[in-house]
Amino acid sequence: MKRRLGLLLALAAVVAAGALLFRSARKASESPDFPDGMHWLCSSCNHGFTTSRDDFAESLKVNPGQQVECPKCKRHETAVAKRCPLPKCGRYYVERNLVIDGKVSCPLCKQPLP
């Protein structure tokens, strides 16, 4: 009985250590510069999408010297974009933010940004 309890405790410790390791590795792949990933806009099909830093690094390895591949049209005609944080909009754009009545606003929905 004591041996079985010891094995269960050891197994629980291994599972907990694995969970902590997975969590710390996941946090390391996030960046304060790109907390929601990296946003892109395809100039060919106008599709906006987001990649993780890891996916971006893999894309550079697979296609050195090329832009990120658009998941919709598979072309490499993409540009770094911003994504409107407003739930009603959420669209991707490469333009600069607008200033309307002294408030920084999304250039697409024209609403003030938080």
**Position 5 pLDDT exceeds 60:** no
When divided into structural domains, the chain yields a total of: 1
Domain of 4? 1-30
pLDDT at 28: 43
Tell me if 48 is assigned to some domain.
no
Q: How far apart are CA 107 and CA 22, in angstroms?
A: 39
Q: What is the pLDDT of residues 55-77, one digit of tens each?
A: 999 998 998 889 999 999 999 99
Tell me if 109 is assigned to some domain.
no
User: What pTM was computed for the model?
Assistant: 0.66
pLDDT tier, 97 (very low <50, low <70, confident <90, very high otherwise): confident
Tell me if 104 is assigned to some domain.
no
Q: How far apart are CA 44 and CA 67, in angstroms?
A: 12
**Position 49 pLDDT exceeds 90:** yes
Tell me if 45 is assigned to some domain.
no
Number of H helices, E strands in the chain: 2, 7
Output the CA–CA distances (angstroms, integers) from residue 4 to 1, 8, 33, 55, 96, in the order listed: 5, 6, 48, 43, 63
Tell me if 66 is assigned to some domain.
no
**Strand order from edge to edge, sheet including 78-80:** 48-51, 38-42, 78-80
